[in-house]
Homo-oligomer: A and B are copies of this chain.
Amino acid sequence: MTARILGVALQLFADRGYHGTSIPMILEAAGVSASSLYRLYPSKEALVNAVFLDAKGRLGAAIAAAEDPPGGGDPGVAAEGHARFARIWDALARFAAEEPAAFRFLELQDHAPYLDGASRTKELTVLAPLALACMDLKRRGVLRADVEVDVMLASAWGALVGLVKAARLGYLTLDHDKLADAREAMWRAFAADAPATAQGPNTSGAGRRGRKR
């Protein structure tokens, strides 16, 4: 039951925002009664924080999985450079595609007014691996020395969010190719030795269906 509640609440919060979503809406969509919900979550704020933790947790898992590929081996060494960046980017892109509501909800502007301490902590916990990976790559000279890590993170993450948002608004249709193009562009933007004009290595495999232009 909590799963269904969290699911419909996530969907509604993502679609209409926190203030735009009423408890009755959630009750109806989840098919539960007010009291049932209030026994699980003592307030609307508690619910939205639970939704946040849940969604952020899944995002964190996706990131962790990208950093620690199931194939195992020695991630710290093998995952260096472009391949490691691509794995993270692709993981985030996949998360955005597979859990659109979660992605969208987490990117809503300013959860701040209603997020509690646990949620804010989670935010940092999920972000940390990305920051660490970035700092690590920079220290090793893989990423440019003349750009701050936080600028790289914010820009690349923002670019992905921008692509997803543009797709949602109908300004473009996101497919695998475009996401890979954007990934390589971000690599060029921040890699220390990325080739300038030629297209960078495309690890997404699966022969592309013909270059445009």
Seen from chain A, the residues whose Cβ lies within 8 Å of a Cβ on chain B are 15-20, 104, 107-110, 112-113, 127, 144-148, 150-163, 165-169, 171-172, 178, 181-182, 185-186, 188-190, 192-197, 199, 211-213
Contact = CB atoms under 8 A, between A and B. Distances in A.
Contacts of A148: 172, 178, 181, 212
B166 A162 contact: no
Contacts of A167: 154
B109 A165 contact: yes
A41 to B, nearest CB: 17
Given A110-B168, A185-B190, 8 more contacts: A18-B19, A20-B20, A112-B169, A151-B163, A158-B159, A158-B160, A158-B161, A158-B162
A191 to B, nearest CB: 8
Query: What are the 9 A-B residue pairs with the smallest beta carbon separation, nearest first?
Result: A158-B162, A19-B20, A19-B19, A154-B166, A189-B189, A185-B189, A150-B172, A155-B159, A196-B196
Contacts of A211: 146
Contacts of A159: 154-156, 158-159, 162
Instruction: Kindly report how many copies of this chain are found in the complex they form together.
Output: 4
A150 B162 contact: no
A200 to B, nearest CB: 10
A44 to B, nearest CB: 12
Contact of A181 (B18, B146, B194, B195): B146
A79 B154 CA distance: 28
A158 B163 contact: yes
Contacts of A104: 109
Contacts of A150: 166, 171-172
Contacts of A196: 188, 193-196
Nearest to A15: B110
Nearest to A193: B197
